[in-house]
Structure 1
């Protein structure tokens, strides 16, 4: 009888040990998430030219991310094909945390403009965290006799096919928001795509192209110098930094409420521990007074969030712009 009781006790101990071991395999990875690090130097890929908002954001957050992850961090600009070249590099990178990217919401619309995209904009990347939003403005060359949306629409209708607008490339927010404005206004304007923002802005300043969408914080100094006129901003509400700028919606373009947002992504397959470490690093960076000040000068409203928040926003963004592309009857190249 004693032997039987001893055997039962032994089995209970063994069962408890097995349960404890199973719980250990569940608890340890979660605890280790806070300790997860990157094994080597980090490259933040920016799929756009130097001087753009994603480039500036990458360089501002890099020092704090480097300190948090315990690795050196560099910004690697890989522009071209509206972001496809840089994004493809990240999609094909090892998911070890050493290659991530700062990109904009309109990178999600690439399949709507290009017949061949070598990755899936939603499935090939791991969301790491949201950064913030950026207000845009519709600007025109000073020679255009318009100061508000209604006057601009009248000018376009009177001048027909001779009116054109610039953008940094197919599928950029500059392109999409202008197409939404054109569709809302019921007019036709010729699109002149460039390979980056610098050439587009330069030709609008020179009067070779009549208008474009561009970040509001970049437009305001040019307006102050008399080099451009600002027709309106793209968010529905007035920008807290530039309260004298009338939103396009307030100026008569019904339902117009758009802005650019930026997030950080890695290649698909990153471990939950790495994802948690990156999100914590981003939140720490965006909570820094120095970073807040620097990004405010870039016109950014900070909006840190979880990887899930970024994924939900990305999915909604893709669906929204797919509707705009259909309405504008834009075909893929």
Structure 2
């Protein structure tokens, strides 16, 4: 069976990456692409790397144009998806790459985003543990509405969920520092993302508990472990570095009393040992962002720092693939009953 697809926000980074992956998907027909200010222009003018989609023209983003497809992907700025999802009730599967349907708490939405609050959807991180002992993929298998994750949020959540769920780390004192590529901020022109502002420097932003992905991380870790969300405290500091795409997240947390080195490593090995797209590297090995470019993989290395009494997890993802579009397509595959890895690769691009 071939499924018809519409992709909104198709001239942006996330929309373009969704299209790149779907273009190689044997069960998908990309029928419609939409945008706002770029409507009426050929897609190829904004996504010149997508040569196989050169026949498509960007249309206006309206509920009427998005309707009538089997699947709709929304790759819109935060706070803009809800106005369309409310009008797409007859669409069999809708996947939102924005934040509008990620959070379960309206208080968290109001504090970090503001504007209209929309109902939470199934969270699009298949490998994430749930407090039932299963994985989030079981929820996604029956989902018709999916919220693709925030790239930083899913990276940190995958990094720490096994330790929190197994009780081998203390989630009340998590520290995460991330080196991130500016593509995660979208394609809009912003002074702080100009090449002259980014090249040759590292720029911290959203410091001091203000980043919008913090409540998403706390929510995911709570769902993975059954630990109350208010018991999970995280100091989260992202830093823009001069690479177009990628995230290298270094997350640490205190070792729980009595946890042995074997128990600690076994928590991560048990969680991810059979996963296709999340890999725990051998002891003493740590990932580079270069190893995951273009791939739907999360590579992580784990160290046990007994001198500081902390577990250290270093995780690398491509923010536009595993962090966004790859997670969205992986979740789509599950919802459609297709092989989970259809059109997705574990192989990166090098050099």
- TM category (shorter chain) comes to 0.3 to 0.5
TM-score (norm 1): 0.35
TM-score, normalised by the number of residues in structure 2:
0.34
**Bigger Rg, which one:** 1
Hey, which of these two has a bigger chunk of helix by percent?
1
